[in-house]
């Protein structure tokens, strides 16, 4: 029997919870307003922004996307992610995205940049939804600072809660598209393939050619030190 919740503090799932359990935990909250999911991608990259997305799904949209194979974007192929994102667009799913630039990451650290991007995406979406927000489900262990909305930070939310899964897919598709566009400006760095992540070829290129304006200095400092000429240009 589905548990009836009265407080968000009651939302505690067992470590090996299944998606059905997470959805059952959230279902009672839907009568109080919209449930929004948010996630980000790009935390471990050497170059490019962190991109966050917030998503609201109606029950019908959730069912259709789950039937299409919606899950954590990391468990989907690029082709499948594009297909699901295309379906979200066709269904007119409400979503909003926000990016934190490489410079913002260098200035504020990756955790704060990620939380800030998720918060901004949620606030943008909340302003577009003509409904009270009952809960924001955040992927991970950290709540979003200065959000002003009830929230639930949940490990594996991107694989347990469909609106968070959809947020992870949208953020991944949008960031990948951005990095592919960026590759035309910096063709030697292979952004269309590595999406800014630290592949062996990418790191070797940084050692050989230095940084682009899209690289994160705080993430590349060790590579530049190994390069042996960490100069003023590299420090930007």
Per-block average pLDDT, block size 10, for the chain (236 residues)? 42 58 74 92 98 96 96 95 98 98 97 98 94 92 93 89 96 98 97 97 95 96 75 45
Q: Closest by alpha carbon to 181, among 218, 206, 210, 214?
A: 214
- 92 and 201 assigned to the same domain: no
C-alpha span between 227 and 1 (Å, rounded)? 61
Last residue of a domain, one of 139, 164, 182: 182
pLDDT at 117: 98
Phi-psi region of 177 (alpha: psi -120 to 50; beta: other; left: phi over 0): alpha
- 61 and 76 assigned to the same domain: yes
C-alpha span between 119 and 158 (Å, rounded)? 16
Q: Which residues of 84-119 are buried (b: 16+ CB within 10 A; e: fewer)?
A: bbebbeeeebbbbbbbbebebbbeeebeebbbbbbb
Q: What is the CATH number of the domain that holds 98?
A: 3.30.420.10
- 36 and 83 assigned to the same domain: yes
- 130 and 24 assigned to the same domain: yes
DSSP conformation letters of 208-226:
HH---TTB-HHHHHHHHHH
C-alpha span between 142 and 43 (Å, rounded)? 14
Coil/strand/helix, residue 13: coil
- 142 and 106 assigned to the same domain: yes
User: Can you give the residue range of the structural domain that contains 228?
Assistant: 183-235
- 111 and 174 assigned to the same domain: yes
- 174 and 231 assigned to the same domain: no
Q: Closest by alpha carbon to 39, among 136, 182, 176, 134?
A: 136
Domain assignment of residue 100, yes or no: yes
Domain assignment of residue 60, yes or no: yes
- 115 and 141 assigned to the same domain: yes
Nearest-5° Cα angle at 189, 185 to 194: 110
Q: Closest by alpha carbon to 234, among 207, 194, 203, 197?
A: 207
- 145 and 216 assigned to the same domain: no
- 210 and 163 assigned to the same domain: no
Helices (H) and strands (E) in the chain, counts: 11, 5
Q: Is the pTM of this model over 0.85?
A: yes
pLDDT at 2: 35
**Domains of the chain: total:** 2
- 92 and 42 assigned to the same domain: yes
Pair 32, 132: CB distance under 8 Å: yes
- 216 and 161 assigned to the same domain: no
Domain assignment of residue 209, yes or no: yes
Domain assignment of residue 43, yes or no: yes
In angstroms, what CA-CA distances link 42 with 71, 133, 151, 204? 18, 27, 22, 20
């Amino acid at each position: 029997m589905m548990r009836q919740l009265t407080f968000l503090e009651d939302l505690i799932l067992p470590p090996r919870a299944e998606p059905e359990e997470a959805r059952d935990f959230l279902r009672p909250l839907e009568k109080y307003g919209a449930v929004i999911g948010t996630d980000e991608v790009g935390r471990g990259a050497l170059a490019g922004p962190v991109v966050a997305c917030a998503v609201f799904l109606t029950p019908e949209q959730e069912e259709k996307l789950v039937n299409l194979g919606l899950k954590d974007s990391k468990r989907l192929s690029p082709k499948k992610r594009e297909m699901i994102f295309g379906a979200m667009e066709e269904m007119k799913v409400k979503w909003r995205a926000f990016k934190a630039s490489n410079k913002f990451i260098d200035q504020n650290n990756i955790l704060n940049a990620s939380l800030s991007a998720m918060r901004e995406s949620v606030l943008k979406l909340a302003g577009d939804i003509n409904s009270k927000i009952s809960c924001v489900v955040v992927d991970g262990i950290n709540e979003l600072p200065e959000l002003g909305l009830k929230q639930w930070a949940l490990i594996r939310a991107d694989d347990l809660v469909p609106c968070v899964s959809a947020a992870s897919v949208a953020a991944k598709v949008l960031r990948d598209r951005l990095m592919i566009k960026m590759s035309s400006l910096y063709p030697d760095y292979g952004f269309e393939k590595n999406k800014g992540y630290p592949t062996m070829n990418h790191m070797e290129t940084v050692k050989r050619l230095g940084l682009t304006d899209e690289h994160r200095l705080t993430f590349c400092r060790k590579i530049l030190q190994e390069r042996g000429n960490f100069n003023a240009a590299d420090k930007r």
